[in-house]
Chain A
Amino acid sequence: MNINIRTPGAARKWQWPSADCSRIPNWVYSDRELYERELERIFYGPFWSFIGLECEVPNPGDYMRARVGERSVLMTRDADGGVNVVLNSCAHRAAEVCQKKTGNSKELMCPYHQWVYDMKGNLLGVPFRRGVKGKGGFPADFDLKNHGLRKLKVETVNGAVFATFDENALPLRQYLGDQIYDRLLRVLDGRKLTLLGHHRQLIHANWKLYPENMKDSYHATLLHVFLISFGLYRIDQKGELLQDERTHAHNVVSSIRNDVRDVNGTEEMRSLRQNFVLNDMRPLATVKEYPDDVTIQIVTMFPALTLQQQNNLLQFRNVIPVGPDKFELSWTYFGYETDDAEMTQRRVRLANLVGAAGLISIDDTEVFEFSRAGMEPNPDGDCVVELGGRGIEPPVAGDMVSEGPIRGFYDFYRRIMFDEP
């Protein structure tokens, strides 16, 4: 008997199923080797990661643990008032130097052999440098200057701290392009930021699903029925999709609320249930806060950061990869120093909509796990991404249901990962 065993997966390894990005192969969400390359080329490459808020390390000696890719880093405030991001791995035996989530210290000391660093990561001293009673010790040419903690390149944008392992990464304005950077500045507008809280979730799905979802305006009105069911959002809200024209990988989705009585466009939403009325409206009470009328602005920054303004609710949503099949979603909620108690309360109440128990966010998080469950055992299948065409050109003005930004993400991704032109 002639048994012909076909192993299509192996034969077409990393072969994109289409010339354009109207197809996304399922293996892109599960392949371990590809994931290792993503860490090297993307998370440790010339791209920026979100670290935290400057106000989380207000005083000299303050530090906070954060992550870039799978690497633990420390955000610190040095004696000169500067913000630094250093690798949380001792230059000696690679142990994590700092285990506490946050704290204040004159210096950073590795608990293993007590190598001591200043808050900028410079090595200040090592025990037994001259040995014991004149015997042993480090070689005479051992130079402390050569053995500091690895320093990341840091840039702050009005209180938000970003870092990259690659010295050659473009400054953030150039990195994002003027159009997207200006939308970042619309929220990070120069007022001093204040931290309102964090929380973190571990999601069993590939990290790319998150930024894709944030760029996907198609799902929002179909999946998220909470706001619509309670009469608080309409599908034909006026909105815009922007993308950085060089990379197609940084985007803005924004919209302006219409008259809530206008229900055109909801006929195709099978999941729509109407006529619920909130008993307590306080969680959704908002006030106009910015000069324009934009009620929702979602800025996605390649690779994996989202800054979302939803009325008065302001959050960074940072995606941190944990293997090909898991990611951490880390939420940082903030306000401005100028906020009064009422405004803070408004932001805190609105937080009910998002996060691990978010009336809206739950839908997304759950669907990511459905995606993983469907993709992982079917690596040879392809996703079909044709809404709004097959190209990566920005969507036509006024078109709020397009998968163009997802195609744009993969166009950039393929150039980075597979050296495509």
Chain B
Amino acid sequence: METMAKCRPETIDTPVAPELKARVEDLYARYAECICDDAIEQWPDFFTDECLYQIIPRANRDRGLPIAIMLAESRGGLIDRMTAIRNTMVFAPRSVLLTFSGIRITQRAGGILHTRSSFTVCQTLVDEVSSLLMVGRSFDRIDISQADWKFAERVAVYDSELLPATVIYPV
């Protein structure tokens, strides 16, 4: 299946310059900090104006089924999500800890870097022990054509068959 092929590790022809890799890792670190620090007002700024943001179950992705639990197709859509989190959604307060590992540049096509990585999201609710919300892999595209590097695509594919309750914050 086409979608399976996308999930397979790809090799990059030319060696990746250490500075390039370092800057990509820095971008992921700053992205995670934005979520962990509860600074989601800045979250949309990590994306290009036209972009794809998706959190999708692995079971759907593997079978080529399009349903995601979160989807945005523009920075405006991300701002809408953030506005809803801040103003209209009803949920128990929590902190989330997003970590990335195994960040790898898989392809460079013009001004776009393709990356993949693993991620883990833990959350802590009032009076509760910290728990695992989600584990998965991300398949992203980073626009490096401008001075500020931004995500043109961020596709978070989560393994978790059963999600514990809700996913409030972006990953």
Residues of A within 8 A of B (CB): 101, 195-204, 223, 225-226, 229-230, 271, 273, 276, 278-280, 282-283, 328, 333, 344, 348-349, 351-352, 355-359, 362-363, 365-367, 369-370
Contacts and interface: CB of A to CB of B under 8 A. Distances in A.
Contact of A348 (B66, B79, B83, B91): B66
Given A226-B84, A348-B71, A356 B167 contact: yes
A344 B161 contact: no
Contacts of B168: 357, 362
Q: Which range holds the interface residue count of chain B?
A: 35 or more
Contacts of B164: 201-202, 204
Interface in B25-79: 55, 57, 59-60, 65-77, 79
A365 B67 contact: no
Contact of B88 (A196, A276, A352, A369): A276
Given A197-B57, A348-B71, 4 more contacts: A199-B163, A273-B88, A283-B72, A363-B89
Which 7 residue pairs spanning A and B have beta carbons closest together? A197-B67, A279-B76, A280-B77, A197-B65, A357-B167, A280-B76, A197-B60
Interface string B134-171: 00000000000000000000000000011111111000
B22 interface: no
B10 interface: no
B79 A352 contact: no
A370 B87 contact: no
B67 A362 contact: no
A402 to B, nearest CB: 22
17 contacts: A197-B60, A197-B65, A197-B68, A199-B67, A202-B162, A223-B90, A226-B84, A229-B88, A271-B90, A279-B77, A279-B80, A280-B72, A351-B67, A351-B68, A351-B69, A363-B90, A365-B166
B65 A195 contact: yes
A333 B63 CA distance: 14
Contacts of B92: 366, 369-370
B166 A362 contact: yes
A351 B67 CA distance: 7
B74 to A, nearest CB: 5
Given A226-B88, A356-B166, A280 B74 contact: yes
A344 B74 CA distance: 19
Nearest to A194: B65
A279 B82 CA distance: 11
A283 to B, nearest CB: 7
Contact of A196 (B67, B72, B80, B162): B67
A282 B73 contact: yes
Contacts of A223: 90
A201 B87 contact: no
Contacts of A363: 89-91
B67 A200 contact: no
Interface string B100-127: 0000000000000000000000000000
B77 A282 contact: yes
Contact of B55 (A202, A204, A357): A357
Of listed A280, A349, A357, residue having the most chain B CB within 10 A = A357
